[in-house]
């Protein structure tokens, strides 16, 4: 059974950057999925149950906080590790992310090495 990573961002170039950063995981039988907005992300999470989600905060249709809250608190999907990615690094946003159930909070621009290290840790895969 392959593991899954979901990348959620409304900016195509950020999705691409994350996909490129994580592409080596595909060699370890990890499927990389992506969504361009919160609504699609929530549907993907319900359908695919990814182990790891990199979730943008500011998005159309449904923001990252709402998606995270739906997954963690409403659907009680404890097996989904959510990393909130945002350009906003203020304490208020961190607090909001924590309340929504985010497992980790990273600010953009992100360090690709940190993304790879976190994915390795969560998925239990060493590249």
Instruction: Give the model's pLDDT for residue 121.
Output: 97
Tell me the pLDDT of the chain averaged across its residues: 94
The token duo for 125 is 């895969």
Evaluate whether 26 touches 34 at the Cβ level (below 8 Å). no
Evaluate whether 54 touches 66 at the Cβ level (below 8 Å). no
As its CATH architecture, domain 3-123 has: 3-Layer(aba) Sandwich (3.40)
Using one digit for the tens of pLDDT, what is the confidence trace for 78-121? 999 999 998 876 788 888 888 999 999 998 888 999 999 999 99
Q: Is the pLDDT of residue 34 over 90?
A: yes
* Sequential DSSP letters for 32-82: EEEESSHHHHHHHHHHH--SEEEEESS-SSS-HHHHHHIIIIIS--TT-EE
The mean per-residue pLDDT over the stretch 26-33 comes to 97
Q: Delimit the domains of the chain by residue range.
A: 3-123
3-state secondary structure of 83: strand
Report percent pLDDT > 90 for the chain: 83
Evaluate whether 58 touches 97 at the Cβ level (below 8 Å). no
């Amino acid at each position: 059974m392959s593991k899954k990573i979901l990348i959620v961002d409304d900016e195509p170039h950020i999705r691409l950057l994350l996909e490129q950063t994580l592409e080596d995981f595909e060699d370890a039988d990890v499927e990389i999925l992506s969504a361009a907005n919160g609504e699609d992300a929530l549907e993907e999470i319900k359908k695919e149950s990814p182990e790891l989600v990199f979730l943008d905060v500011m998005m159309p249709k449904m923001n990252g906080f709402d998606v995270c809250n739906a997954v963690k608190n409403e659907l009680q999907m404890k097996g989904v590790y959510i990393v909130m990615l945002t350009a906003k690094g203020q304490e208020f946003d961190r607090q909001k992310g924590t309340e929504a159930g985010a497992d980790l909070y990273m600010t953009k621009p992100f360090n690709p090495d940190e993304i790879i290290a976190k994915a390795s840790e969560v998925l239990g895969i060493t590249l």
